[in-house]
A and B are shown apart, each in its own frame.
Chain A
Amino acid sequence: MIELEGLTKRYGEKVAVNNLTFTVRPGIVTGFLGPNGAGKSTTMRMMLGLDRPTAGDVRIDGRHYDRLKDPLKYIGALLDAKAVHGGRSAFSHLLCLAQSNGIPRKRVHEVLDTVGLTAVARKKAKGFSLGMGQRLGIAAALLGDPRILMFDEPVNGLDPEGIHWIRTLMKSLAGQGRTVFVSSHLMSEMALTADHLVVIGQGRLLADTSMADFIARNSRSYVRIRTPQPERLLDVLHEAGITAVEAGGGAFEVDGEKPERIGELAAQQQVVLHELSPQQASLEEAFMRLTAGSVEYHAHSGAPAGPQWGNDWKKG
């Protein structure tokens, strides 16, 4: 169990994590979601005692991380799979970690086997592919057979088979009663693995809810309508007591109404429809709506702009 209380981290002027309070419980997979720069990695570093909080507190089973006498048996963490000395072999890398916690050498062979790296155990880590590096990071996290596991974007750069493997692994770890805390910026990925959801944006807590709850609330179904006679349509719907919301691109959305009823109404009043389609909002959209106000780095949608000086250049 991990308990955060008023956790805050400031880097100069920048508030990376802002007064976070939540609890990560054992026996389930807790997804930690947020857009880029939301403060997920910073929060995880503070949980591990790597970054000192500006304010607030993190407790691991009631204790501070640096009070743990055998930390690797408490928490196994994968923060950054590239954080390995490239000149060291996978085996030596794991061995030095095991030794620092008095973990027997045969456990190194076990975890290498679990992640499927036995064949390359004596190879230098710098020759590893992205997926192999990720597996080595996971082997290090599993080394102490810990009660708590923490993964920062574990599926980054993995192929579908690797993603499936991690998903199964996390579920089985939680199934054994361990606490599993995993960050991601993909809602769809979390929907498949996580039982509980913590969402942050710009360092602030936006949601702390069970996955089932989140899905129930956010899988909104609605009807999408397009028409060349928007005023007529709105009048007709209004008279029938139906509210339509403009959704951009000349389309309207109606919540909680059957498309049949809207089609019949339009036919009776002779309104031309170009589109009448039932829609289901994806969880990804729900996530984007939730974090819309707190996305740090926006990309401009649409085609990339040409060089500004293009026209002048042509004239000259």
Chain B
Amino acid sequence: MSTPQTPMPPAAPGTPYSGYTSPIPVVRTHLGHALASEWTKIKSVRSTMWTLGVFLALVIGIGLLTGSVVGGSASEGELGSESALALGFFGLLLGSICIITLGVLTTAAEYGTGMIRTTMTACPSRGRVLTAKALVFFALAFISTLVSSSLVAVAQVGMVDAREPSGGEWLKATVGVSLYLALLGLLSLVVGSIIRHSAGAITIMIGAVLAPLVIALFMFSASLEDLRNFLLEYSIPNQLSVFYANSLSESGPSGWDPLWIMLGVTAVAFAGAYALLERRDV
């Protein structure tokens, strides 16, 4: 009974295999299909509504609040030589936690539920799945940040009596920070794909945002001065503040530097995640 039958010789490519043929037309799938699928996924879970809702509430709420407090104070020139745009920083810094969470959940949640096996069965090209997730998330995060930060910027400049910002400053305080935050979220998505565990990846990302600054604050020793300055200047909150030209120090990143730094880090992490995804079992 336990004599395995001799295997059928592997068929030559193109050999018609008998069996059932479906009336559903055959389509060659491509990235567009994966994008449509990921868009349906991200908009059909409540965690997206929650994280983005809280994000918008934080950015707009804190923005309007600081605008009205600063604008309401009697003394003119409260902000010195700064423009009112700088007030947008606080809301975005807090809001970044929401973007990080949404980014991580986009990938890691599928591992938690086991949905990833269904996803990868439907689309065996693993790189395509990761790319589609990255694009859909990035677009969503960028547009949400752009809309809310622009709204806040216009409101604050109108409310506060300070120097008129230049065109370049407007661009950095809206498009610049939006690209930066969306990239930070994308990095979180990539970390989620590597760690495959939501809580773990969120902890790592929030740690990466806060730890350098917190550690630097407690480095009193003079011999650690250089390290302390490096940590302060390249911490994510400080990089974000560079877009408003109010960095903690004069040296360190300036202008659009933070964006290129984040782009480089995310690209490296993405390549790593891609390679791991191809190698590991789902």
Contact = CB atoms under 8 A, between A and B. Distances in A.
B interface residue count range (under 10 / 10 to 19 / 20 to 34 / 35 or more): 35 or more
B24 A145 contact: yes
A99 B45 contact: no
A99 B22 contact: no
B117 A22 contact: no
Contact of A100 (B26, B34, B113): B34
B24 to A, nearest CB: 5
Contacts of B281: 45, 50-52
Contacts of A288: none
B28 to A, nearest CB: 5
Contact of A80 (B19, B47, B117): B117
Contacts of B116: 83
Interface in B120-164: 120-125
Contacts of B12: 62
Does more than half of chain B's interface fall in helix, strand or loop, or is it mixed?
loop
B122 A72 contact: yes
B2 interface: yes
B118 interface: yes
A86 B109 CA distance: 11
A144 B24 contact: yes
Nearest to A143: B122
A3 B123 CA distance: 21
Contact of A85 (B5, B15, B110): B110
Given A50-B281, A100-B34, A147-B21, A62 B124 contact: no
Nearest to A61: B17
Interface stretch (A156-164, A172-180, A228-236, A245-253): A172-180
A1 interface: yes
Given A52-B281, A85-B110, A85-B115, A73 B2 contact: no
A87 interface: yes
Interface in B2-26: 2-5, 7-8, 10-13, 15, 17-24, 26
Q: Which of B7, B20, B113 has the most CB of A within 10 A?
A: B20
A129 interface: no
Contacts of B34: 100
A87 B120 contact: no
Contact of B113 (A77, A86, A290): A86
A26 interface: yes
B27 A70 contact: yes
B87 to A, nearest CB: 36
Range of interface residues on chain A? 35 or more
A34 interface: no
A176 B22 CA distance: 10
A89 interface: yes
B37 A70 contact: no
B118 A97 contact: yes
A66 B21 CA distance: 20
A76 B11 CA distance: 22
Which of A100, A209, A214, A290 has its CB near the most chain B CB atoms (within 10 A)?
A100
A16 to B, nearest CB: 11
A52 to B, nearest CB: 6
Residue among A59, A97, A209 with max Cβ neighbours from chain B (10 Å): A97
A273 interface: no
B4 A21 contact: yes
A58 to B, nearest CB: 11
A103 B37 CA distance: 11
Interface string A49-70: 1111000000101110110111
Nearest to B36: A99
A222 B18 CA distance: 43
Nearest to A89: B44
A3 B49 CA distance: 45
B1 interface: yes
Contact of A71 (B8, B11, B123): B123
Interface in B164-183: none
Given A3-B7, A62-B11, A69-B29, A85 B113 contact: yes
Given A85-B109, A95-B40, A99-B36, A206 B24 contact: no
17 contacts: A1-B19, A26-B20, A49-B121, A62-B17, A71-B124, A72-B121, A75-B121, A79-B121, A84-B114, A85-B41, A96-B38, A97-B37, A100-B37, A104-B24, A177-B20, A207-B4, A208-B4
Interface of B: 1-5, 7-8, 10-13, 15, 17-24, 26-29, 33-34, 36-38, 40-41, 44-47, 109-110, 113-125, 279, 281-282
* CB-based closest 3 A-B pairs: A83-B114, A26-B19, A92-B44
